[in-house]
Structure 1
Amino acid sequence: MYKKLFIYICILLFSVSIVFGNTNENLKPEVAVETIFTESGAVFDHVNINSYVIIKDEFKTIDNVTKICNDISEKLNIKEINLKKENDENYCFINARGIIEEGEYVTVIVQSSRSVDLRESSIVVDVIETKEQYDLEELCSKIRYILSSYGKVNLNINLSGYYNGLVSNKELQENINKLLNIIGAKKVEGISEDKVISITGYTPNIKKHISYCGRKANINIASRYNSYENRTDILIGTPLIVLEY
């Protein structure tokens, strides 16, 4: 629950501070991420699709919020749903957690709030896919279609994998540079510390990007050593990785 709220807070911050832009190319974000991951040679762990819609200047009652959540859950065919609700005069919230099928977990969060100066509602659909046999394009298209009736749909797509043992930062840096080149991306900024590395890049070949501090970005590759499992984890996300890593 707290991790999902953390992700949701990140999404709200991004929605305020970033601007989405379009390019003239037709490479879907999910195709770019999957292409890079395949070339990385990492062992597959899971896919995370974090999608959201921000509805400005509109407060929805608990009945409205519940209806939206139920509609989305039904269209995604979510089973074994665990519901949590909060409701007062100026705030309502519903969290539905369940599974689509074995190995495919989903959380739907719908909330609405109002104050003297602000009315805003939001919808979050977070899907975690742990099966190696999956269709990322189909899943992303389905989520976009379902959420499009509520407003502009934004997706953060993350593929997670790992290499056995410890991989040096030098080797990771070389590998990440090669992966960025595959989709024609250039490094925007990055950090490299002890057993941790994160590089943000931009390519005009991906349909969307975010803008911050006068710079564009739409691909993020991060890695760290997991001493508990003696493996080096790698995350590849677009436009940015929004998970804790």
Structure 2
Amino acid sequence: MYCVIQSIERVVGEMVFRKALLITITTCLIILPISVHGWAVFDGGGLKPWYDLNRISNEGKVVSMDDMMAFVGFQREYLDVNAWARLGEDYASVQDLELLADRASKFFGIEGDYDHISSQGEGIIQVTVRGVNENKQVVSITCYSVDTSCDNNRKLESYMVINIVDRIQRIDVSEAKHSVEVFFDTIGLNAKITTTLVGSSKGKLSLKEMEGICNELFSHIRADRTEGITDGEFISISGYSPLFDECITSNGKSVNIQVAMRYNSYMDRTYLWIGVPIINIEC
């Protein structure tokens, strides 16, 4: 990897290299925006039709990821919430980023022993805090600044990324999302947030069965399929549902829901990922 980076830097030059590096970091750490809350209604063995259009309009186009998981009979494993925001020009030093990271760690209640790593060099300043809060949620906070200067014009681009993983408390998706929104409100920023809910079912499902589950989920949230990948025993489908308020654009198409499935032979379980607007973790 080091040799590859050296080659790139020789070809494109230091300024372009740093810009490309910023894009790479942003791709790895920054997640896209969403807005998800809501509920569905169970009736006997399944769900009632997903609201009438008047109710959706009056109460907001919302749908519960937990109910989607339960609808297909999968057990919730964990929830992953990711948020990012671009920082202002005031965050230009490692001290500035450390103060912000410490403020976030206190807000989210990180306690006991936790990791606090600061690094600076090659035009990049980064501070990372990672620990567990009182709700046994793993909280990761990353603040970083990249020098994208051109010629003699010094320019820094700074970002903050917060990731919360809930395995124990089974906190509601909307509650977890709200806590992140509140923090970014306190520092005057509007965060982009995405959520991924992971569930599993005992045993192995065939590719055809997994496709059937994904299609059934899309049908119940009135989602139109926009993209799909099938690779061996892995399937991923992205689409657009009118039940979600916000979306992203992918290849010129609107996307606000993604589902994926894969069998894990070691655990002997079939896993289901539901992401809004996309899945933000490795499947």
| Identical aligned residues as a percent | 24
Within a 5 Å distance, the mapping from 1:127-138 to structure 2 comes to 127-131=164-168, 133-138=170-175
2:219 to 176, 181, 189: 181
Partner residue, 2:210: 172
Structure 1 partner of 2:8: none
Alignment equivalent of 1:33, drawn from 52, 65, 68: 65
Query: 2:258 pairs with 195, 220, 226, which one?
Result: 220
List alignment gaps of at least 5 residues for structure 1: 1-5
The reply to whether residue 103 of structure 1 matches residue 141 of structure 2 is: no
Point out the structure with max Rg over C-alpha.
Answer: 2
Deviations 1:21-44 (A, max 9, x none): 9xx78235xx44223122121112
Aligned letter for 1:108? I
Larger strand share, 1 or 2: 1
User: Which of 66, 84, 98 lines up with 1:52 in the alignment?
Assistant: 84
RMSD: 2.5
Partners in 2 of 1:205 and 1:136 — Cα distance? 16
1:64 aligns with 2:99: no
Partner letter of residue 223 of structure 1?
M
Question: 1: CA distance between counterparts of 2:136 and 2:209?
Answer: 32
Q: Say whether the 8 Å CA contact 1:105–1:128 is kept in structure 2.
A: yes
Please state how far the C-alpha of 1:52 moved relative to its aligned partner.
0.9
Matched, 1:10 2:10: no
Contact map agreement 2:145 2:157 (CA 8 A) in 1: yes
- 1:94-132 Cα shifts (integer Å, max 9, x gaps): 110111135311101111122314421111111110025
Q: Structure 2 CA distance, aligned partners of 1:60 and 1:236?
A: 36
2: distance between equivalents of 1:65 and 1:49? 21
Instruction: Confirm or deny: 8 A CA contact 2:34 2:193 kept in the other structure.
Output: no
Contact 2:34 2:276 in 1 (8 A): no
Give, in whole Å, the separation in 2 of the partners of 1:10 and 1:224: 22
- In structure 2, do the counterparts of structure 1 residues 71 and 132 end up closer, same or farther at CA, with 3 Å as the change threshold? closer
Q: Which residue of structure 2 lines up, in the alignment, with residue 200 of structure 1?
A: 238
TM-score by length of 2: 0.74
How many residues are matched?
A: 232
Shift of 1:193: 2.7
Q: TM-score, normalised by structure 1?
A: 0.85
**Compared with structure 1, are the counterparts of its residues 179 and 227 closer, same or farther at alpha carbon in structure 2 (3 Å cutoff)?**
same
- Taking CA–CA contacts closer than 8 Å with sequence separation of 6 or more, which of the two structures ends up with the larger relative contact order? 1
Provide Cα deviations, 1:190-218, integer angstroms capped at 9, x if missing partner: 01232110000111221110012210101
